[in-house]
Amino acid sequence: MKLLRVGPAGAERPALLDRGGVLRDLSNLVPDIDGSLLADAAALARVAEAEAAGRLPELEPVERVGPPLARIGKIVCIGLNYHDHATETGAQPPAEPVVFMKAPDTVVGPDDTVLVPRGSRKTDWEVELAVVIGRELRYAASHEEALAAVAGYAIAHDVSEREFQIERGGQWDKGKNCETFNPLGPWLVTADEIADPQALPLKLWVNGELKQDGSTADQIFPVAEVVRYLSQFMTLYPGDVINTGTPAGVALGQPEPKPYLRAGDVVELAIEGLGRQRQELKQA
Ligand code: ZN
DSSP secondary structure of 10-29: T--EEEEE-TTS-EEE-TTT
205 and 82 in a single domain? The answer is yes
103 and 180 in a single domain? The answer is yes
Task: Check: CB of residue 68 under 8 Å from CB of residue 33.
Answer: yes
200 and 138 in a single domain? The answer is yes
122 and 209 in a single domain? The answer is yes
Task: Check: CB of residue 146 under 8 Å from CB of residue 134.
Answer: no
Q: Which residues contact 198 (CB under 8 A, 6 or more apart)?
A: 216, 217, 219, 222, 223
Question: For position 280, what pLDDT does the model report?
Answer: 98
Residue 64 lies in a domain: no
Q: Which residues surround ligand 1, an ion (CB under 5 A)?
A: 126, 158, 246
Task: Check: CB of residue 178 under 8 Å from CB of residue 164.
Answer: yes
- pLDDT per 10-residue tile (average), the chain, 284 residues: 97 96 96 98 97 94 94 97 90 93 98 98 98 98 98 98 95 96 98 97 98 97 98 98 98 95 98 98 98
**What is the residue-wise DSSP string for 30-86?**
-S-SBHHHHT-HHHHHHHHHHHHTT-SPBPPP-S-B--S-BS---EEEEES-BHHHH
We report the CATH number of the domain holding residue 186 as 3.90.850.10
Q: Beta strand pairing status for 188-190 and 2-6?
A: antiparallel
Distance 77 CA to ligand 1 centre (A): 6
Distance 125 CA to ligand 1 centre (A): 9
104 and 24 in a single domain? The answer is no
Task: Check: CB of residue 206 under 8 Å from CB of residue 265.
Answer: yes
Question: For position 261, what pLDDT does the model report?
Answer: 98
How far apart are alpha carbons 80 and 160 in whole angstroms? 13
How far apart are alpha carbons 181 and 178 in whole angstroms? 6
19 and 86 in a single domain? The answer is no
Residue 144 Cα distances to 71, 147, 199, angstroms? 27, 5, 18
Count of the separate structural domains present in the chain: 2
pLDDT digit string (tens) for 113-159?
Answer: 999 999 999 999 999 999 999 999 999 999 999 999 999 999 999 99
Residue 62 lies in a domain: no
Distance 47 CA to ligand 1 centre (A): 32
Distance 69 CA to ligand 1 centre (A): 19
Residue 59 lies in a domain: no
Task: Check: CB of residue 220 under 8 Å from CB of residue 96.
Answer: no
Question: For position 89, what pLDDT does the model report?
Answer: 86
Residue 70 lies in a domain: no
Residue 58 lies in a domain: no
Distance 54 CA to ligand 1 centre (A): 39
Question: For position 90, what pLDDT does the model report?
Answer: 86
Question: For position 192, what pLDDT does the model report?
Answer: 96
Find the domain containing 33 and state its range.
Answer: 2-53
Question: For position 61, what pLDDT does the model report?
Answer: 84
Please tell me the pTM assigned to this model.
0.97
100 and 214 in a single domain? The answer is yes
Distance 202 CA to ligand 1 centre (A): 13
How far apart are alpha carbons 30 and 13 in whole angstroms? 10
Q: What is the mean pLDDT of the chain?
A: 97
